[in-house]
A and B are shown apart, each in its own frame.
Chain A
């Protein structure tokens, strides 16, 4: 394998991993606060169409990312209102949000399919990435660096800040947190909004980082893989990073197996396409064999909170 090919593989894997990583970081914070939002896939689709439309009409990629984050927050507030204010069933509401996001993005994207936009270019000037080795470090768009910075930010926030401690307290024991004066619902709303913003930005990665166009359901279940990844990472940001890159590798293996020849090239394209989903199941199973995966889950995950007094 040549250095060129290896570098090409790394760059593709990083790109494919980025949306999953961003969405999963958002969901990790949400789940740490004790809320299970299964609407990630729907919020990502809403973010994707928002980013596409804004890029298509204004040509401004950064505005598109901001708007995608805003759209993700707006969608997450539907979920927040139903589950936190009205204590509706979180599983059902999350599913409803995904169904809504699929329909909404298809409606808003009507007439935009097969129209191209330009991808978001590399953050650093081209001279810094002329040598192939430097391309691995400096050849990406801002979204990639954002995802990596957010891994550290989320870890630091949860582990080292007072606000992070409160958020974890709310997720581990909502009634105690409430009784010492913290607003359980307020903290959870903030977490859900953060998750929405991250899912929206993750959606923006699809038209801005991966394929410069809009297609219905273009996230193709990546939001669900992000949810699974949070379990895989047992709610730890750095493990999330490793997991997301593992999945990026599985997703891009097809491209290079065909080029590389050998036994891998004989695998039908459909099996390659199914691989990320099958890998998700395998990973969830392996994690559970190793130890009881739920033992590390926030204690109040998925439970509605109503103050008793």
Chain B
């Protein structure tokens, strides 16, 4: 009998490291087609509509850009945190709090004009998200409370805060009873950068954020500290890097970026705060961060891939009647395949003779 054994590689395989996300996408397409056929849908059609139509139909490119930008911004923040082994999974809540802080600025400056309103909203967004992430950071560093649970519980609470604000204190007096804020004034809205499209200023900003983050992570002491603390906490301690400081930085940066993405969404596509603002970008960005190999440049591509599945999911809904939940299944399958493939990054599959053969 033939047996296989896993043998640890001395160095993680770079080739497999970068090939794995691509393989994961291909496997998802292959198995997705099989699974969706098995449950009675047009499986091949589903894969075509979800993965290919958004790319071949140029009308959909602006949708891709609009959907990808918050995913990239949040994903960049999460990839920095996960590099440091800080498991912030409450990005959705930080995204919401950033948007609420920006909404507060927009509402309290209503009736004023000035170029400063939008920057003020951006600052409020970043601060809102970072402040919300500071809560898990405080409890983690002071009392060693698990940041996964606190950041996630805060997300559920923040959703209720939206409901409260749009129902009572921030409700649009002219909104005919709808629980939503008034539409933001012109100076509180993100400008469109391509006329006649929905492409807003948040899209180039997302790319810039990723490039800056890549530069910082690969070239600065900050980036080095994040990586060392995440990969080898003991070595980091000897090297003089404070673990607590790293946890703080990781949560503030990832929370601030999530809040920034929330500001861009509320001042961009939404133009007002509505109960439907929580769009799951914060959770999907977790997959984006992993698919991008926790590397800001990789996150750009991963954000686009995930936006493709969102836009494609909507197309498949109208053309072949695939339920909207299908894109979530494809997205999580991608993450499963990626995590499974990672074993080949760290280990090498070796064929070994079984004991009987060895004895013979």
Contact = CB atoms under 8 A, between A and B. Distances in A.
B241 interface: no
Contacts of A221: 152-153, 156
Interface stretch (B189-197, B255-263, B283-291): B283-291
B326 interface: yes
B157 interface: yes
A103 B339 contact: no
A180 interface: no
B290 A92 contact: yes
B328 A99 contact: yes
A288 B332 contact: no
Contacts of A99: 283, 286-287, 328, 331-332, 335
B100 to A, nearest CB: 13
A253 interface: no
A227 B89 CA distance: 14
Contacts of A216: 325
A96 B336 CA distance: 7
Nearest to B136: A281
Interface residues of A, number: 47
Contact of A280 (B153, B163, B325, B332): B153
Contact of B339 (A88, A225, A271): A88
B160 A271 contact: yes
Q: Is the interface of B mostly helix, strand, loop or mixed?
A: helix
B30 interface: no
B201 interface: no
Contacts of A280: 149, 153
B152 A270 contact: no
B347 to A, nearest CB: 8
B335 A231 contact: no
A259 interface: no
Contacts of A100: 328-329, 332-333, 336
Interface of B: 6, 8, 87, 89, 135, 139, 143-146, 148-150, 152-154, 156-157, 160-161, 163-164, 167-168, 283, 286-287, 290, 323-329, 331-333, 335-336, 339-340, 342-343
Given A86-B340, A270-B160, A281-B145, 17 more contacts: A82-B336, A82-B339, A87-B343, A88-B342, A95-B286, A99-B286, A100-B332, A102-B328, A103-B325, A106-B325, A225-B153, A274-B161, A278-B157, A281-B135, A281-B149, A281-B154, A288-B145
